[in-house]
Amino acid sequence: MHCLKPKISDSAPQQFRHAIALNAPVSGQLQPLSDSTSPLLAMRMAGDGVLIKLTGTAIYAPFNASLSCFLPTLQIVEWRASNGLVARLTFEDDLSSLHGCGFTRYVNQGDSVEAGTLLCHIDKNKVKLASPELRCALTIVNANKLTAIVPKAPSASGIARVQSNVDTLMTLYI
């Protein structure tokens, strides 16, 4: 059972009012949310989006927004845009035991950030103690207001990879 009707699609809807390109906040390989080991994420209780197996060590702001949630443990980073869009980056594994160790923060909860602002660096050697395979989900919390979410298409190899602050992670259709 899913808490949200899936919005993920392979292509743009035939009718929409506006398209919003969302920059990749992290580098990594895209996977479906249903592959998550977290029931909260797999069942889309935190919104619809994609799972990302991290290959990079930096987290950037995907769009102009305020940081509505930036927990000291960095388990969750949430952005709220002036147009009402709310996106959330949630680490799949519980990282609270690290107490923020392994992350170097450059901004704080409540700060306004522009797309591409560096939010923090991840020390993978420290974080892998709590999460050997570091994966996070980028979800749109209020996805019910969207017509569709189209993630970056896979390459010829069948794998979709994104580079943070360079590639479009997904396009949102209103």
Quickly state the pLDDT bin for 1 (edges 50, 70, 90).
very low
Collapsing DSSP to helix, strand or coil, 133 comes out as coil
pTM for the whole structure: 0.90
Contacts of residue 155, Cβ cutoff 8 Å, sequence gap at least 6 = 161
Please tell me the predicted confidence (pLDDT) of residue 127: 84
Question: Do residues 149 and 140 touch, judged by C-beta distance below 8 A?
Answer: yes
Architecture category of domain 28-173 in CATH: Distorted Sandwich (2.70)
What residue segments make up the domains of the chain, in order of their start?
28-173
Q: Phi-psi bin for 102: left (phi > 0), alpha (psi -120 to 50), beta?
A: left
52 membership: H or E segment, kind and range: strand 48-54
pLDDT tens track for 109-161: 999 999 999 999 999 888 877 777 889 999 999 998 899 999 998 888 888 99
Please tell me the predicted confidence (pLDDT) of residue 2: 46
How far CA 42 is from CA of 15, 62, 94, 109, 121, in Å, comes to: 28, 22, 15, 26, 26
Contacts of residue 144, Cβ cutoff 8 Å, sequence gap at least 6 = 4, 5
